[in-house]
A and B are shown apart, each in its own frame.
Chain A
């Protein structure tokens, strides 16, 4: 019984590992191919099946004038938009989450839970519903095709995540530590910034990681709300996917875009092992 389970376990894990890794390996080999080795059918092993070329990687840093792809600027645009929107969402979301966790609000039939639900429910909103009005709205205030416009939109995407994780996190931080701080003569702001916040760093990191993930992987809003002035990485890479697709540079740029988030995966796993995520999810 135990042996069968162990065998099945490792079998299943192996199969899944292969499934997870397969597209990455495929992208990695494809990125070293050129036109001939792609169009002759599928090949896998460099030097044996095909002659590896660096063309796919070289075009990434060439300027478009020389036939390059130039993903450097979109890369930094993406980083900038994601990080700024995440930071704003975390700051505002944490403050609101703290208020919702520690104080009671009542306005008519609206209570704390309803306000929390309002924040989180923004995730239910299908992006398409917002995209058309945002398109016209940002157009009317001249923020279409700009970094600021995108940051504004991303705040709507990310703040619900920050509030969701931080409310649950603050609920787990014992109230006594605020109360002790207040008795010791802190005002509520000092109590929050000097006592509660330093005790909430794991929660902030987890919330930050989630914001960064969901900001970085967004394609839809960047696709609809920007055209030529500002391009984000996913839009740029997908634009390569035209009728005559350069599979090699496509694969290389895909790998480059995935790379920074691998670090995030390690951080998330670390906090997961320490049990810091559990409260956020219930």
Chain B
């Protein structure tokens, strides 16, 4: 009798998800093989969009490498800072709850809305950052210099999402077994050795999970870029999502945007799988 009700538990959720997604997925593939314009609708053009994408669109690939650079850098910084913060408020600290809540707060705020605030914060003539820096004779162009604009995006992303890394890692630290630490204490291990030989290895599986989750989320970076720089100056902060957005929903080249979306999705799945495998190898040596 087991076989009947287990499906009743599983199917509502599964079918709702499939039901909502199946049309869009099929449609993306179909659309990617088509030209699209508002007067004749869809017309089948085979692989033409893909050929254009792979042979004649350096801008897409540049935006993809930019995205990889931005997400790897931000996730790396988030991991290091998040781990440090989690380790610091893990135990023996005054106002522990206060700091834990405070460090969580940025991830609860809407990225676009906070980015609007950051935009005023980094404003070249009216913002507080340049106001303070002007005392030292500097006035960096946070949003209009190609290199600095990338750094600004990274700063905002680190502010926004380090808390998520912090949350995952702190939850991990709190769930660690006590025995290895007792053993280390009995052996008289120094704090640094304790960290290298006990805490870090025990945290490896959680670290991998957290990094992968953050990489997935970071690869969707779009809101921040849209509000902060709109991909500019030029294309210096344009990420793949943003470029697809411009092609599809600004220039209404839907077919071409769909072929980029599909390609992008495949690349994401492959690269995330590879990253997961590599990280597992690196961090779980034994």
Contact = CB atoms under 8 A, between A and B. Distances in A.
Contacts of B174: 272-273, 275, 278
Contacts, number: 258
B108 A264 contact: yes
Interface string A266-279: 10110011010111
A129 B27 contact: no
Interface stretch (B52-60, B141-149, B257-265, B277-285): B257-265
B171 interface: yes
Contact of A27 (B85, B117, B241): B117
Interface of A is mostly: helix
B112 A238 contact: yes
Given A99-B6, A100-B10, A238 B241 contact: no
Interface string A123-153: 1111111111111110000000000000011
Contacts of B241: 126-128
B267 to A, nearest CB: 10
Contacts of B10: 95-96, 99-100, 103, 105, 115
B247 to A, nearest CB: 10
- Most B CB contacts (10 A, CB to CB) among A44, A99, A266 go to A99
A156 B254 contact: no
A132 B127 CA distance: 36
B17 interface: yes
Interface residues of B, number: 92
A19 interface: yes
B184 interface: no
Nearest to B16: A92
B102 A92 contact: no
A56 interface: no
Main secondary structure of the interface of B (DSSP, over half): helix
A265 B104 contact: yes
A123 to B, nearest CB: 6
Contacts of A72: none
A127 B205 contact: no
Interface residues of A, number: 97
Contact of B172 (A127, A265, A266, A281): A281
Nearest to B96: A273
A125 B265 contact: yes
B131 A42 contact: yes
Contacts of A26: 117, 120-121, 128
20 contacts: A20-B105, A26-B128, A41-B131, A42-B130, A92-B16, A100-B10, A121-B269, A123-B217, A125-B265, A126-B264, A137-B23, A137-B27, A192-B9, A251-B117, A262-B108, A266-B101, A272-B174, A277-B167, A281-B172, A281-B206
Closest 5 CB pairs of A and B: A278-B175, A96-B13, A133-B24, A99-B9, A42-B131
